[in-house]
Amino acid sequence: MLKVHQIDVFYGNIQALKGVSLEVQEGEIVTLIGANGAGKSTLLKTLSGLLKPKKGTIQYLENSIAGKPAQSIVKAGISHVPEGRRVFANMTVEENLQLGAYLRKDLQGVKQDFERVYELFPRLLERKKQLSGTLSGGEQQMLAMGRAIMAKPKLLLLDEPSMGLAPLMVKTIFSIIEEINRAGTTILLVEQNAHMALSIANRAYVIETGSVVASGPAAELQASEQIKEAYLGGL
């Protein structure tokens, strides 16, 4: 469904991604692990159109989306949950979700998805009228994910959903990610919590200073000595 081929991305003169290629099949959970500054978030931002690749191609459902503006990528069905949640703090939970469905015209479908989001995240229903800035970190993460689901994506890009959350909340979030995936949304997950990410993913890519250094089925990578030492803290 998504095929990234040899992309180079720069921040000014600094090259953040060097010839990165990766592939995501429909229905999968693919995870991208790596240390700080490896280029994980850069890759997601490039996929969702917030950054433009200097070289290389991005193929999504037969169309090239490299360098397209963010709004047309969202329209095509790729939704990005940015790192650090970034909810609209002075808006209510409901208004945040409404903005997620900003590009959609099918009011009936939007209404159904409101129900679906509240079903996935009952906490959000309880706090429907609350300002999202007053939610806890975990709830904000739920809201950011719910907001992205409101765009009815075929492919959901998640950037570090476990960041700064309590272990119990991380578990909840990850089980919800699996649930979203079972309902038919393909997921590309960026994580530093490699252990957690590998345990729910089908396949994984390991990225280091802007290049992919390893890839394969998640279970295989989880068993590999090298990966264990470098990313799993010898677990």
Binding site for other proteins (CB under 8 A): 48, 50, 69-71, 73-75, 79-82, 86-92, 95, 98-100, 102-103, 129-131, 144, 147-148, 151
Shortest Å, Cβ 48 to other proteins: 6
Contact, 97 vs 115, CB < 8 A? no
Shortest Å, Cβ 142 to other proteins: 15
Shortest Å, Cβ 194 to other proteins: 24
Minimum CB distance to other proteins smaller for 147 or for 203 = 147
Cα–Cα distance for residue pair 148/143, rounded to 1 Å: 8
Minimum CB distance to other proteins smaller for 57 or for 92 = 92
Shortest Å, Cβ 60 to other proteins: 15
Minimum CB distance to other proteins smaller for 120 or for 148 = 148
Minimum CB distance to other proteins smaller for 131 or for 176 = 131
Nearest to 144 by CA among 79, 204, 65, 48: 79
Shortest Å, Cβ 69 to other proteins: 7
Nearest to 96 by CA among 48, 142, 138: 142
Minimum CB distance to other proteins smaller for 157 or for 221 = 157
Shortest Å, Cβ 36 to other proteins: 19
Minimum CB distance to other proteins smaller for 102 or for 217 = 102
